[in-house]
Amino acid sequence: MEDTRKRLIELLYNQTGDYISGQELSKQLNISRSAIWKHMNELKKAGYQIEAITNRGYRIVSVPHEMSEASLRWGLDTTWYGKEINYLPSVTSTQYHAHDLAREGCDHGTVVIAGEQTAGKGRLKRYWDSPAGLGLWFSVVLRPTELTPKAATQLTLVAAVAYAKALKKWSIPVKIKWPNDLYIGDQKLAGILTEMQAEQDEIDYIVLGTGINVNHTTDDFHPSVQHTATSLKQFLNKTVDLNALFRDMASNFETEYDHFLNNGFQSIKEDWEQLGYKIGEWLTIRTNTEWSGKLISLNDDGALIVEDVLGEQHILYSAEILWRS
Ligand code: BTN
């Protein structure tokens, strides 16, 4: 079903404003004309404006920018990620809501996504500004029963790699600032917050939250972060369809997550090294003292390996890295 819809949208899109006949669609998709008609109605419900003209066919007039469960799900090509999507126009934090669902026993891959968050959470108890309609604010419940709690850190890195790779396809040169920020140039585009419920050596569930600044202009950011934060719109100079962006993030996350579970952390680590912000550069590190360190890579715990001027390697878990030095 999902595949047919995705293909249908692709076929409509490929016409670039021109019409495609019902007969052609039915041939390409190998389904009846009445099935096409039903799919068209579903598309309309999802907010697509479709024009149908007798003897000419169909064409997309506009795609929905409004987020809804249907428009988010439309064309989503995942197996388990987002099988259940909970869209909330406004919520305190998608993290809280996802924790509630997880405690109630929701499935692995359940997504909570919001139009706005009134109490968005960043790392280290910081506030995460999540204004209505300007970004992707979503959390996914993961139940990686085969992993130990230490792998939660790795999952944050898996997510960062997945998103960075997805954004590369949009020609956005993103870097991953350790441990969990996505950067364009020297400005923050997105952040990831991983929270875990575990008992001893068993993960009960993980809630992995992602915030991506998408359609902000400079003025949409709080003055205190206008120089340090950025959005996709600022980089691309155009408004981005939140639904399409979500689908790409979801799809890439599922691919990288499955790859990680099947093949281990090594390949994620290799990708991360290619994508790491300021990898190979000398920065000031503040531990007990201040010293110069070159960012080398990650170890298997997802901690940062930094080399000092004598060539000695240090493992930093919660290092104070002065990124701007
Ligand atoms: C950070 O960089 O500090 C992490 C930010 C994570 C923000 C996302 S938005 C969706 C989810 N819900 C929240 O309240 N926080 C995360």
What pLDDT, in 10s, does the model give residues 207-249?
999 999 999 999 999 999 999 999 999 999 999 999 999 999 9
Tell me which H or E stretch contains 159: helix 151-169
Q: Is the pLDDT of residue 277 over 60?
A: yes
**Are the CB atoms for 138 and 112 separated by under 8 Å?**
yes
Type of residue at 208: L
Which atom of ligand 1 sits closest to the CA of residue 94?
Answer: 12
When pLDDT is cut at 50, 70 and 90, the band that residue 143 belongs to is very high
Q: Do the domains 282-322 and 2-62 match in fold?
A: no
pLDDT at res. 259: 96
User: Which atom belonging to ligand 1 lies closest to the Cα atom of 121?
Assistant: 14
How far is ligand 1, taken at its centre, from the CA of residue 130, in Å? Answer: 9
The per-residue pLDDT of the chain, averaged, comes to 91
- 120, 112 contact by CB (below 8 A): no
65 secondary structure, DSSP code: -
* pLDDT per residue as tens digits for the range 191-212: 999 999 998 889 999 999 999 9
Q: Which fold has domain 282-322?
A: SH3 type barrels. (2.30.30)
Q: Does residue 319 surpass a pLDDT of 70?
A: no
Is 187 marked within a binding site? no
Centre of ligand 1 from the C-alpha of residue 208, in Å: 9
Is 117 annotated as contributing to ligand binding?
yes
Q: Break the chain into its structural domains and give their ranges.
A: 2-62, 69-275, 282-322
Site to probe by mutation for ligand 1, drawn from 90, 130, 188 as the one with most ligand atoms within 8 Å of Cβ, is: 130
CATH (residue range 69-275): 3.30.930.10
Supply the pTM of this predicted model: 0.85
CATH assignment of 2-62?
1.10.10.10
18, 59 Cβ separation under 8 angstroms: yes
Residue 124: the pLDDT is: 85
For ligand 1, mutation pick of 96, 137, 212 (most atoms within 8 Å of CB): 137
C-alpha torsion 154→160→165→167, nearest 10: 170
Question: Distances in Å between the alpha carbon of 36 and those of 12, 29, 46, 118, 169?
Answer: 12, 9, 15, 41, 30
